[in-house]
Amino acid sequence: MTESAAEKKLFPLRTLLSFLGPGFLVTVGFIDPGNWATNIEGGSKFGYDLLWVITLSTVMLILIQHMAAKLGIATGKSLAVNIREGFPAPVAWFLGVTILLACVATDVAELLGGAIGFYLLFGLPLWLGALVTVVLEVFLIVSQRYHRLETVIMAFLGIIGLCYVFEIVIVGPDWAALAPALIVPRVDRSSIYVAMAILGAVVMPHNIFLHSNVIHSRKWGVSEDEKMALLRYEKVDTTLAMVLGWVVNSAMIIVAAAVFFRHRVPVNSIEQASETLKPLAGPLAGLLFAIALVFAGVGSSVTSSMAEANVITGFLGKPEDPRTLLYRVSVFITAVPSFLIIMFSMDTFKILIFSQVILSVQLPFTLIPLLMLCRDRKLMGGFRSTRAEFAAALLVSAIVIVLNVYLLYATLTGGN
């Protein structure tokens, strides 16, 4: 075997490391405070029963995020720009409005999580903690170069992961009971609302838009052959990042089940979860919980703001450049209604969960255009989705739509 053939077959470590990053940037977006609320709700009320939703969501996520990244590599444009250019104007505007509303829901979760984290650590009022979170996210986005920002976010992700590893060690879950729950589906009318919220918190529409944009931070070559040869690095980056997200999200449910469900302790807020965790699992567990929440809130706020700016500039046909005035203003736009909701709302826990359901309801309006674009031979060329990939993506979209209909039915008939 020649040296060039060997290089094509293997993953040179230095080259692989240079392509790692975009997937991890997306990952911190679905280890956000919305996940904390839905996972705590799921674990405290239903034990390990909803762990399978995390597994299913992650499998779906790997496929969808790979397609979003592939669209960005093949076209050199983000999903937002491709929708604006590839769909009739009324359809594009409708899709743009729906994703913008989903971004507002996302921002509510991110800012509220950061605010709660600062409250737990330093006793700051929620409005002040939310303001600090906004200031930090704007500073990180506007003042840092992309690769430096990427490093910061990956460090945040590492801290969150380590905190939950230590928490699992502290709480000592029932491994025999939780292992089958990771893959065996179990859901009914009492748990469908939370299951849908968990799905929305993992497969997040704004992250699909974000991945199609941040993938351009790497050099993918000019010709289709060059891009195809390097696509394997994107697959590794996406898969590794999503698996790490699966581990952390599963850990959230496991800790909640091992502590709150085991002791039959009802949990109605993240703040209560932190306070209850201390006497049941020790003060160190409570401290780790608060630290991880702060990093999750700030980190996910950064990525959600990047997605929001990309959505606004992309749908308006403007440069997706952090140095432009529109991009910087866009960072603030969706934060304003989210900040007002935090200021005047009382039940923060229910708002967090409801925000994730909004994301899940919007998902079909992101997935369907993505599937259509990725199946377009003229647009994608050799990157066009195969029949198997397209069929799998159709199945994912069908699952999301069916669950949305079930959620609506259960809610209207009083099942929730």
Per residue in 258-282, pLDDT (tens digit) is 999 988 888 877 777 887 777 777 7
* Ramachandran bin of 385, using left for φ above 0, alpha for ψ from -120 to 50, beta for the remaining angles: beta
Phi, psi (rounded to 5 degrees) for 203:
-90, 90
> Radius of gyration of the chain from Cα atoms?
21
> What pLDDT, on the 0 to 100 scale, is given for residue 47?
93
Structure tokens at 147: 């690769």
Tell how far CA 238 is from the center of its chain.
13
Q: What is the pLDDT of residues 35-84, one digit of tens each?
A: 787 898 899 999 999 999 999 989 989 999 999 999 999 999 999 999 99
Structure tokens at 275: 């306070």
Count of CB atoms within 10 A of residue 304's CB? Answer: 32
With both helix axes pointing from N to C terminus, report the angle between 126-143 and 283-316 in degrees, rounded to the nearest 10: 50
Q: Would the pLDDT of 7 be above 60?
A: no
Percent of the chain with pLDDT over 70: 92
Q: How confident is the model at residue 2 (pLDDT cuts 50, 70, 90)?
A: very low
How many Å apart are CA 369 and CA 346, to the nearest integer? 36
What is the value of pTM for the model shown? 0.87
Residue type, 393: A
Mean of the per-residue pLDDT values of the chain: 85
Query: Residues 117, 296: contact at Cβ < 8 Å?
Result: yes
> What pLDDT, on the 0 to 100 scale, is given for residue 77?
93
How many Å apart are CA 324 and CA 18, to the nearest integer? 27
Q: Where are the alpha helices (DSSP H) in 76-204?
A: 79-86, 89-122, 126-143, 146-171, 175-181, 192-202
Q: Would the pLDDT of 86 be above 50?
A: yes
Structure tokens at 198: 């968990």
Q: How confident is the model at residue 315 (pLDDT cuts 50, 70, 90)?
A: very high
> What pLDDT, on the 0 to 100 scale, is given for residue 67?
95
Size (the chain), residues: 416
* Ramachandran bin of 45, using left for φ above 0, alpha for ψ from -120 to 50, beta for the remaining angles: alpha
How many Å apart are CA 405 and CA 354, to the nearest integer? 16
The CA–CA distances, whole Å, from 391 to 116, 233, 271, 387 equal 41, 24, 43, 6
> What pLDDT, on the 0 to 100 scale, is given for residue 6?
46
Please compute the mean of the pLDDT values over residues 284-303 and round it to a whole number: 87
Range name among 41-45, 143-147, 388-392 with the lowest pLDDT average: 143-147
Q: How confident is the model at residue 237 (pLDDT cuts 50, 70, 90)?
A: very high
Q: pLDDT: is 390 or 34 the higher one?
A: 390
Domain 37-412 fold is Amino acid/polyamine transporter I (1.20.1740)
Please compute the mean of the pLDDT values over residues 182-201 and round it to a whole number: 83
> What pLDDT, on the 0 to 100 scale, is given for residue 4?
47
Sign of CA dihedral 104, 110, 116, 122: negative
Burial class (CB in 10 A: 0-12, 13-18, 19+), 80: buried
How many Å apart are CA 226 and CA 160, to the nearest integer? 36
* Ramachandran bin of 21, using left for φ above 0, alpha for ψ from -120 to 50, beta for the remaining angles: left
